[in-house]
Amino acid sequence: MRVRTAVCGLAATICTALPLLPAPAHAEPLAPAPHDVQLQIDKQLADFPDGVQTSPNEVSYANGRVTVTFVSSADEIADACASDAYCFYDLPNFGGRKLTYRDCGGNQSLTDYGFGNKTSSWVNNTKHMVEVYDKDVTPFVTLWREAAKSAAARVSTATDNKADFFHTYCGA
């Protein structure tokens, strides 16, 4: 009886320890990670096909005046917003995907690039004022104003993930 108990105990220990052993070096992953950057880019180009992949983590539109930058995890932060650009971030604290504009184009739609209702933080590194709107309500409403050379690491709870388009005041 003691031998049988010892064998069963040893078997349980081995079975419990097996999942902790490393996989063989030649093992292939079964499926890509959910935040795989190339998968995100492929989906972006399928949903918004006017873009071109211009780096391992970026898709450009309008001859580079608009870019979407992808990150590999929700905790990762995209590169800082370029000077003379304004950026919208998918997550608070400038995290997640980043949508960058490098022009002064009056009204522009975030939805044209898959960013409708997706902004939680922003940076305005231009000399222009930007007004951001929610068009999902009638009449549409101003959510916030971005002064020149300003930023918000977190938009208010009332405006989080509601931005659809913006207007840039391109005066001198």
DSSP class of 57: T
Query: Greater confidence, 2 or 69?
Result: 69
- Coil, strand or helix at 172: coil
Place of tokens 């001859």: 63
Per-residue pLDDT tens digits for 26-82: 444 434 444 699 999 999 999 999 999 999 999 999 999 999 999 988 778 888 999
Per-residue pLDDT tens digits for 98-120: 999 998 878 999 999 999 999 99
- According to CATH, the topology of domain 36-169 is Gamma-B Crystallin; domain 1 (2.60.20)
pLDDT of 8 higher than 60: no
If one counts every other C-beta atom within 10 angstroms of the C-beta of residue 89, the result is: 30
The answer to whether the CB of 76 falls within 8 A of the CB of 40 is no
Measure the CA–CA gap between 172 and 170, rounded to whole angstroms: 7
pLDDT of residue 17: 41
pLDDT of residue 172: 54
Per-residue pLDDT tens digits for 126-154: 999 999 999 999 999 999 999 999 999 99
Per-residue pLDDT tens digits for 158-170: 999 999 999 999 9
Sheet holding 141-146, edge to edge: 107-109, 165-169, 129-134, 141-146
Place of tokens 């931005």: 163
Query: Greater confidence, 7 or 138?
Result: 138
Assessment of whether the complete model's pTM goes beyond 0.85: no
Local confidence band at 171 (pLDDT 50, 70, 90 cut-offs): confident
